[in-house]
Amino acid sequence: MEELKDTVSAAGHRSQVWIGLYSHVDWKWSDGFNQSGDEYRNWNDHQPNYNEANQFCVGMTRQGTWFDYYCHVKPTFVCYNDSAAGGFEFVRVNTRKTWSEAQKHCREHFTDLATVRNDDENEEIKSLISRGNWAWIGLYRDSQIYWSDGSHFSFSSWSPGVNSPDSMEVGCGVADLNKGGKWRLISCEVRKPFVCYSMEQRGWCFQ
């Protein structure tokens, strides 16, 4: 990070530059549902916002709108039972668990965390959590984060601000030199200067 900041600063640049980071934005249902209705969403305003690049699980408010949030938080959650006739029976569980713990509980005692396919099902779940704060549902996003050269993703330096993955299939990484070089994901179609590196020359270059 220090070498990247030095390279860009030496070129007299102080704003955002592309780095080789990218992430697929792939929302999935816990039960693997991918038929008609699998793309139904009821996001709250300005959601999902992928705050701190660390919000991969989805909750529903008592107003019935959705938001992405930190998977380790422990609210209540909604499971479903899938009948032989193909109908869903939703069940709110008042025990507080992380998203993964809630998924495990639903799979052990019911069918899975709630899959929401249309407005009617969303309203049904909303009625179950109307007396509470919010609850986990079964939607989540894979934490697919990669480097352009295929390097293993381990070190990170995310900005504490929000990202906006809602309409993107892939988010691409910028280092913001006005914020200490911290990273954000933005639309890959934006034109920005960028930083390359060369293994042969053992150095970085700013373009």
Question: Within this chain, do residues 72 and 125 fall inside the same structural domain, yes or no?
Answer: yes
Question: Within this chain, do residues 54 and 96 fall inside the same structural domain, yes or no?
Answer: yes
Q: What are the b/e assignments for 110-148, b being 16+ CB within 10 Å?
A: bbbbbbbbeeebbebbbebbeeeebbbbbbbbeeeebee
Q: Look-up: residue for tokens 């009948």?
A: 83
Query: Taking the model in full, what pTM does it have?
Result: 0.85
Instruction: Give the domain-ending residue among 141, 159, 193.
Output: 141
Question: Within this chain, do residues 81 and 131 fall inside the same structural domain, yes or no?
Answer: yes
Give the three-state DSSP class for 191.
coil
Question: Within this chain, do residues 20 and 34 fall inside the same structural domain, yes or no?
Answer: no
Q: What is the pLDDT of residue 35?
A: 93
Number of structural domains found in the chain:
2
Question: Within this chain, do residues 65 and 136 fall inside the same structural domain, yes or no?
Answer: yes
User: Of 184, 162, 164, 163, whose CA–CA distance to 173 is shortest?
Assistant: 184
Enter the tokens of residue 137. 């549902």
Tell the burial category of 39 from Cβ atoms under 10 Å away from its Cβ (0-12, 13-18, 19+).
exposed
Enter the tokens of residue 47. 């959601």
Residue 56 belongs to domain spanning? 27-141
Question: Within this chain, do residues 127 and 39 fall inside the same structural domain, yes or no?
Answer: yes
Give the three-state DSSP class for 102.
helix
pLDDT tens string 34-50: 999 999 999 999 899 88
Q: What is the pLDDT of residue 84?
A: 57
Enter the tokens of residue 124. 């049904």
Instruction: Give the domain-ending residue among 141, 164, 197.
Output: 141
Instruction: Give the domain-ending residue among 97, 113, 141.
Output: 141
How many whole angstroms separate alpha carbon 1 and alpha carbon 6?
9
pLDDT tens string 172-191: 999 998 888 899 888 899 99
For residues 141 and 25, the answer to whether their CB atoms sit within 8 Å is: yes
Residues of the chain with pLDDT under 50: none
